[in-house]
Structure 1
């Protein structure tokens, strides 16, 4: 297969799904997510646009599953052109002195440990010429975002370290900041927000991809 490949972790909904659809005309999409039905719906939308996808319904917090996935990518395609990491655990908003231990542990596992593990597995597939993309969130450090903010910030800190380490040797690592979008994650954070004022996820996916092409 000569078509480029794009691995998208967190592809079942939101920005990940929108990025998958936007990339489908030029890339074979390897879509990772926990919700089988949502992945199948994404596959239908990609096929309707003439694209193709490989669905990988699995949890990124399971190292063995991620190892098997990356080995499968190597065996089938030999390498990977692009990795977009949109998967995140959004813990409920709460005052810092009321952070739930289980929510914090889940946030650490999904947002920090899984990211570091994936970098370890995906980096050899990207090689020198591939590209990895992470997504920053401006709410980090704001009130009530203790569990999410701390672990999302740590995730981006890992990405920035990798970015600095690979600046001369590759792969290229990009960190983008999306505009506020009408996603399920944001709806959990802001349940009464007027969603009509938010950016459409497909428009935002197109904007972010345009930045990557510069």
Structure 2
């Protein structure tokens, strides 16, 4: 894409599918989207949809737990565009549902790394890029304290606790920090958690993205 694009920049972490992809498509109507996710093929499909709708995107196929890669991405964004207007953080590791006593070390480690540690590293990285006028968006769907949701619930709740602290710290100085609560959606993650659920009764991610975007405006 042309580096002199006049559009504001939106960074979407976890943009390959589900709500992250839907938010990227919604933002692409008014922003140049930098889409971050591990799955290259899914990012390319997102880019196709964004371009078909007349939007612009830059793909960044990388893992948010790779601190060096994310530092380089933030530096590249600074060097190319100077700032970002919006950061949507939808990246998550959704460990399989299991009793807390049966939680595997691998799933716990991945959950902490993606849902907590990466967030704690990205906030300092992105605060200078967001400046005083930018906005950051998080999604509160932690299921904290629900049975079998130990790894997801605990680590996502920790992420939101961190976001809430950042939110109250920046009320006067910016950036604006938004914590939104999505309705249950027909996503792959939801299907893993609730395999027998009637998906027709769930919100479509694009509809939910439109609703949540309206809350930001």
TM category (shorter chain) comes to over 0.9
Instruction: Identify the residue that residue 52 of structure 1 maps to in structure 2.
Output: 56
In the alignment, the residues of structure 2 paired with residue 95 and residue 54 of structure 1 have an alpha-carbon distance, to the nearest angstrom, of: 40
Task: Tell me how far apart the structure 1 counterparts of residues 142 and 111 of structure 2 sit (CA, whole Å).
Answer: 17
Find the aligned partners of 2:169 and 2:50 in 1 and give their Cα distance.
35
Length-normalised TM-score, structure 1: 0.98
Match 2:71 to one of 24, 45, 67: 67
Q: For 2:162, which of 143, 158, 170 is the aligned residue? A: 158
Divergent runs of 4+, >6 A: none
Compute the RMSD of aligned alpha carbons.
0.7
Would the aligned equivalents of 1:131 and 1:173 in 2 still touch at CA under 8 Å?
A: yes
Matched, 1:144 2:142: no
What residue in structure 1 maps to residue 102 of structure 2?
Answer: 98
- Would you say 1:37 and 2:41 are equivalent positions? yes
2:203 to 199, 204, 207: 199
TM-score, structure 2 length as denominator? 0.97
CA distance in structure 2 between the partners assigned to 1:196 and 1:18 by the alignment? 18
How much does 1:138 deviate? Answer: 5.0
SS in 2 for 1:29: strand
- List gaps (5 residues or longer) in structure 2: none
How many correspondences in the alignment?
213
In 1, distance between residues paired with 2:142 and 2:33?
28
Between the aligned partners of 1:72 and 1:141, the Cα distance in structure 2 is 39
Give the 3-state SS of the residue equivalent to 2:117 in structure 1: helix
| CA distance in structure 1 between the partners assigned to 2:195 and 2:82 by the alignment | 44
Cα distance, 1:100 vs. partner?
1.1
